[in-house]
Amino acid sequence: MTTDAAPVPLLEVQGLTKRFGSLVANDDVTFTVRAGEVHGLLGENGAGKSTLVKSLYGIHQPDAGRVVVDGRDERIASPSHARDLGIGMVFQDMRLIPALTVWENIALQLRDTPRVLKPRDAQRAITDASAHYGLDVDPSALVRDLSIGEWQRAELLKVLLAGARVLILDEPTSVLTPQEADALFDVLRRLTADGVGVILIAHKIREVRQIADRVTVLRGGRTVLADTDPHELTDAELVRAMVGTSVKPVSRRPEPTDETADAPVVVSLRGASVLRPTGVLGLDGVDLDIRAGRILGVAGIAGSGQGELADLLVGVAPLRSGSMELPGLDARGTTTGDLRVAGVVDVVANPVHDYVVRGMTISDHVALWEATTAGRRRFDVRGAATTFARRDERAGLRAADPSRRLDQLSGGNIQRVLLTLALTQDARLVIASYPTRGLDVLTTERTHALLLEARDRGEAVVLVSEDLDELLALSDEVVVLHHGRVAGTVPAVDADRDRLGLLMTEGAA
Ligand SMILES: Nc1ncnc2c1ncn2[C@@H]1O[C@H](COP(=O)(O)OP(=O)(O)OP(=O)(O)O)[C@@H](O)[C@H]1O
Ligand SMILES: [Mg+2]
């Protein structure tokens, strides 16, 4: 008997290939997950990360290759089969039922849910697990009332209580603030201490450094770096593995000045209030001047009114009280259509939900975009491919071929299409909500450059982001929202993380 033999990995993938028609999304991929480790799965947008984990969770059937779970070859036929094998997945577009409570959602997924369920028992099991893993969430809360962080913790509890020993997280941090991401990583450490193996897809090098014990990098569907200790690599080497070339750092932006503080006002809000669908005020008496040629950063903890502000500015949400004046926009009214034609461009927070039309190609979306921004009813689908090629060249985000279906692109590649349209539009006002969510390292940098270019062309840019570093790097001024009110407006020249953080959590002094 040997005592020093390496333990059998929880999960091993050998030579896995997955095609969609002629497209090879995973090409001869090798991948291993061991008990007690966080394995970072990295790569550019479209590299094949989500496709790989979907094969492990039984959503896709690979065309070739082996998947070995606990030392046994398995053909994972479905997600419920994956769960039976101890493989759990938390999706980015979360899958809880909003009208049910947290415990009801979890009970629905438990393997041994009895036909007649005792709510008290289910709630106790959830409370115990939530204390053990530090996953703080109220079991009796309705899911629709949860913040995005709570929602994610509920999803995690659901997967853990269903008995997952391999936990797959596809870009869990892209919707979290850095503090929430840190809290999630604390949970992951407790899980690995219990012997769980975690597959974590993430784009930010900082996060990989913080949490990953091993990394695997995919590029163009192939494994280009397998099962490596990230501490053996520099940041530049990691990025090079992902993108295939070495990358020069982009030039730093000049020191912030307040020269444009008196630029013409494009939109002016006075006492602006907006109701949420639930009937409570999401935006509450906000005074704000949005000026040409400036980037106005919007900071706040999740649900502080950022969404309502964006919805108001693009005409989706009506004013409950107060006023919205549009001196810098030649708009007939404040409907979405009027504002679009007047040059208001919307980078929506959740494109898969609010922008992508199932079954339609990129060209179809381009034609729709062109028609609505011009206030036309005619769609020119044939001209769209040419227009898009021109925009793609200008934006430099390397968007996918316009003949492809938008809903079949990877998450980051959908975002690139939307950004290619939005940031090449001759706009007066750009509302960019979380524009770099889900983007890989290079595309994030290029998007930042495009936002600065829009500003320098004289466009007014409203940048909503949960990433304070991003806000501080790009904004000329940051407005902090707290419970729907303006807690403070800080010029970039005197903004720092601590000051913004305090306003975000404590509100106005
Ligand atoms: N259902 C599908 N039908 C057709 N093509 C698909 C499908 N799912 C994924 N693809 C393609 O497979 C490739 C890999 O996509 P995948 O979603 O795995 O990328 P990813 O690495 O997760 O990227 P991202 O960082 O943007 O999320 C892409 O070219 C994508 O368009
Ligand atoms: Mg993906």
Q: What are the pLDDT digits (tens) for 19-54?
A: 999 999 999 999 999 999 999 999 999 999 999 999
Nearest bound ligand to the CA of residue 411:
1
Q: Residue of the nearest CA to atom 25 in ligand 1?
A: 45
Nearest bound ligand to the CA of residue 410:
1
Report the C-alpha gap between 393 and 397 in whole angstroms. 8
Percent of the chain with pLDDT over 90: 67
Report the C-alpha gap between 204 and 238 in whole angstroms. 11
| Ligand 2 midpoint to CA 170 (Å) | 7
pLDDT by residue (tens digit) across 168-224?
999 998 888 888 889 899 999 999 999 999 999 999 999 999 999 999 999 999 999
pLDDT by residue (tens digit) across 248-290?
655 445 566 677 788 999 999 999 999 988 888 999 999 999 9
Q: What is the pLDDT of residue 279?
A: 86
**Is the per-residue pLDDT at 5 higher than 80?**
no
**Is the per-residue pLDDT at 450 higher than 60?**
yes
Please give the number of the atom of ligand 1 that sits closest to the Cα of 414: 26
Q: Residue of the nearest CA to atom 12 in ligand 1?
A: 25
**Is the per-residue pLDDT at 1 higher than 50?**
no
| Ligand 2 midpoint to CA 416 (Å) | 13
Q: What is the pLDDT of residue 250?
A: 53
Q: What is the pLDDT of residue 295?
A: 96
**Is the per-residue pLDDT at 109 higher than 90?**
no
Chain mean pLDDT for the chain? 90
Q: Residue of the nearest CA to atom 22 in ligand 1?
A: 50
CA triplet 478, 352, 18: central angle to 5 degrees?
Answer: 125
Ordered by where they begin, the domains of the chain are 11-243 (3.40.50.300), 264-343+429-447+458-509 (3.40.50.300), 349-425 (no CATH)
- Which of 2-16, 235-249, 390-404 is the most confident on average? 390-404
Q: Minimal CA–CA distance to 79: which of 53, 41, 42, 113?
A: 53
| Ligand 1 midpoint to CA 404 (Å) | 12
Confidence of residue 326 (pLDDT cuts 50, 70, 90): very high
> Are the beta carbons of 377 and 371 closer than 8 angstroms?
yes
Q: What is the pLDDT of residue 377?
A: 81
> Are the beta carbons of 65 and 28 closer than 8 angstroms?
yes
> Are the beta carbons of 272 and 312 closer than 8 angstroms?
yes
pLDDT by residue (tens digit) across 369-396?
999 998 888 888 889 999 999 999 999 9
| Ligand 1 midpoint to CA 410 (Å) | 4
Q: What is the pLDDT of residue 463?
A: 98
Comparing 58-62, 83-87, 147-151, 295-299, the range with the smallest average pLDDT is 147-151
For the purposes of burial, counting CB atoms within 10 Å of the CB of 426, is it exposed (0-12), middle (13-18) or buried (19 or more)? exposed
Q: What is the pLDDT of residue 253?
A: 59
Which residue among 50, 173, 404, 416 is best mutated to probe the pocket of ligand 1, counting the most ligand atoms within 8 A of its Cβ?
A: 50
Which residues, judged by CB distance below 6 Å to any ligand atom, belong to the binding site of ligand 1?
20, 23, 25, 43, 45-51, 408-413, 438
| Ligand 1 midpoint to CA 224 (Å) | 17
| Ligand 2 midpoint to CA 90 (Å) | 13
pLDDT by residue (tens digit) across 418-436?
999 999 999 999 999 999 9
| Ligand 2 midpoint to CA 357 (Å) | 18
Nearest bound ligand to the CA of residue 406:
1
Confidence of residue 4 (pLDDT cuts 50, 70, 90): low
Confidence of residue 147 (pLDDT cuts 50, 70, 90): confident
